[in-house]
Amino acid sequence: MVLGRDVGELVAGVELLAAGVDGPGVVVGRAGVAGGRVAFLFPGQGSQSLGMGVGLCREFQEYAEAFDEVCGVFDGYLDVSLRDVIVGESGLLDETVYTQAALFAVEVALVRLLESWGVRPDFVMGHSLGEITAAHVAGVVSLRDACALVAARGRLMESGCTAEELVQSLGSMVRSASLGRPLIPLVVPEYLVGEGEAVYGVRAGGIFGATSDERPATTITDGVTVVEIGCDLLSSELLLNLAAGSWVSGGAVTWHSFFGECERSTVGLPTYAFDRHRYWPASGGSVGSAVQKGVYNREGDAHEY
């Protein structure tokens, strides 16, 4: 598949593709090899930056709506508007509670945008903060409960609590939350399942909060592409490459949703340099009788032998 912003980039991409050379705008794959299966990996904090995702809010309505929804829910758990923290210069973005809330909002908005294009994960998994994002995307925990967990997690980490205290505090919140079975397989790293209760695990029964004697039933196998969904993906070009990669690997991408209301047109493919004569039986005739009589010539008339 060749991607480009203008005719020049498209022609250059086609030339690279014809020569079998990798290059900008050239996305290749084999449908059926990986079956188009993809796993979304949600990272922890450390990649935040002021104004992250603002460009995508301007470009894509689906991203903006999802981002605003998450920020609106966080307004009930944070002292300052999360959106103002991300786009403003308050200096609060580097405080853990706001950092983690902001990254969660960005990650969820990215998923909702990709879903609107038909790019959906077959598996989800997360690291640190990303474990909560993965649980929410999988359908295990609601948006409101997930935001409450993220805000509490950030405050507990700022307070300097131990890992054991963090698990105990969030564990009680998880037990009181309304939990569902995962709609998408949720892969849990082995280190999350230790002694006592692991806060973010999912056991075989699909319950948020696995115990030490219940290991995750889902594993990532060869042939599944793992894509990190985080701040490194905050550009339309990178997102388009991700969608194209899914498409050439056999995934279902709804391109009309990607283009939205933008003016677009299709270009007919070049034809083969052969005579344009029909060699198939004309419609309405009996295939059996045509075979019995003989073959068709270029004008479509049957010849008997």
CATH number of domain containing 137: 3.40.366.10
If asked whether residues 77 and 217 sit together in one domain, one would say yes
Three-state secondary structure call for residue 230? coil
Range of the domain at 14: 1-29
Residue 142 burial (CB count, 10 A): 15
Q: Which amino acid is at 17?
A: L
Here the tokens at position 50 are: 């002021």
H or E element at residue 302? strand 302-304
If asked whether residues 154 and 173 sit together in one domain, one would say yes
If asked whether residues 238 and 90 sit together in one domain, one would say yes
Per-residue pLDDT of the chain in tens (305 residues, 90 and over written 9): 888 878 888 888 888 888 887 887 888 877 665 455 788 889 887 778 888 999 999 989 999 999 999 999 999 999 999 999 998 877 888 899 999 999 999 999 999 999 998 888 888 888 888 888 998 998 888 999 899 989 988 888 888 877 777 777 777 777 767 777 777 877 654 333 333 333 333 332 222 333 333 343 344 555 677 888 988 888 888 888 888 887 777 777 887 777 776 666 777 766 666 666 666 666 655 545 444 444 444 444 444 43
If asked whether residues 119 and 252 sit together in one domain, one would say yes
Q: Is this model's pTM higher than 0.85 or not? A: no
If asked whether residues 54 and 138 sit together in one domain, one would say yes
* CA 121/CA 183 separation, integer angstroms: 11
Phi, psi dihedral angles at 295 (to 5 degrees): -125, 165
